[in-house]
Amino acid sequence: MAYSNVEYVTSGTTYAFNASFNKADSRITCIGGGGQGSAKQSNSLGGAGGGGGGCSFIINSTFFNANDVVNVQLSAGGSTAIKDAAGNPRCFANAGSPGSVGTGGAGGPTGTAIGDTKFAGGAGGNLTSGATGGGGGSAASINGNGASVSANVTTGGASGSGLAGGAAGSGGANGTEFDSTHGSGSGGGGGTTTTVAAGGNYGGGGGGAHGQSGTPTGGALLSGIIVIEWNVPVVVLPELITEPMVPAFTEE
């Protein structure tokens, strides 16, 4: 479905609905934040990848109106939500979990998510061998679940919209399903240097740290995003009915 109007919420605690917002023809999407990749396990064994955020969306919701000012929830590595004017969450997507030593972080689950449609984020890769870190799981999208990363795979997971994950040492791709810079991010690749790249915006999981001396870090926590889309109602004017002119009758 196509929407002619779109606004993005990537930070802050409140959102004011546009005066032209039309709840009868709208979609509101939440993508959860991405989990951080874990630290190294030893100087020769890297860390596991972080999980990608989940995605939830609601269609033609009756809970929001034009000009409403509502609370939103967004943070690096945290869950994402938008609440109605009474403070009740109406769309909620879980964040991916951080990697923990050799165990990849879980993707954002759907069980506690809120939405008409809910997709799970991808899990980060476990790591049991090799100095290169495990790949990060990807964020889910409006098109499907995020991809999980298999054990000891160093490439990040593909996003729910099919964007390829980052290769080892490279960041995940930024999502593009809403426009060229907004969407669900793919997972970051496992670390090959002191600091590994993060997942892609929004919600991609970070790759695990490289196993080497020093204190290399896993790919950083990422925030999610809220996307508000709508179409303005089309005004249909009544068809004008015309009849032929009839000459006036006059008596002579």
Res. 162: pLDDT tops 70: yes
135-139, 211-215, 225-229: range with lowest mean pLDDT: 211-215
pLDDT for res 214: 86
Res. 249: pLDDT tops 60: no
| Conformational region of residue 152, where left means phi above 0, alpha means psi within -120 to 50, and beta covers everything else | left
For residue 137, what pLDDT band results from cuts at 50, 70 and 90?
very high
- The count of structural domains within the chain is 1
Mean pLDDT of 137-148: 97
Q: Which residues pair with 144 in a beta bridge?
A: 141
Mean pLDDT of 104-108: 98
Rg (CA), the chain: 24
Mean pLDDT of 185-198: 88
Q: Are the C-beta atoms of residues 193 and 203 closer than 8 Å to each other?
A: no
What do you get for the CA distance between the two ends of the chain, in Å?
A: 67
Q: What percent of the chain has pLDDT over 70?
A: 92
DSSP label at residue 23 = G
Tokens coding 182 = 């907004």
Mean pLDDT of 78-93: 97
Q: Are the C-beta atoms of residues 80 and 90 closer than 8 Å to each other?
A: no
pLDDT for res 144: 97
Of residues 156 and 218, the one with the higher pLDDT is 156
Please give the Cα distance from 10 to 183 (Å, whole number): 11
pLDDT for res 6: 98
| Conformational region of residue 13, where left means phi above 0, alpha means psi within -120 to 50, and beta covers everything else | alpha
Residue 163 structural domain: 1-252
Q: In Å, what is the CA distance from 217 to each residue of 37, 85, 149, 190, 194? A: 8, 40, 19, 11, 7
- Strand-pair category, 14-16 with 89-93: unpaired
pLDDT for res 235: 72
Res. 77: pLDDT tops 70: yes
pLDDT for res 196: 75
Average pLDDT in the chain:
93
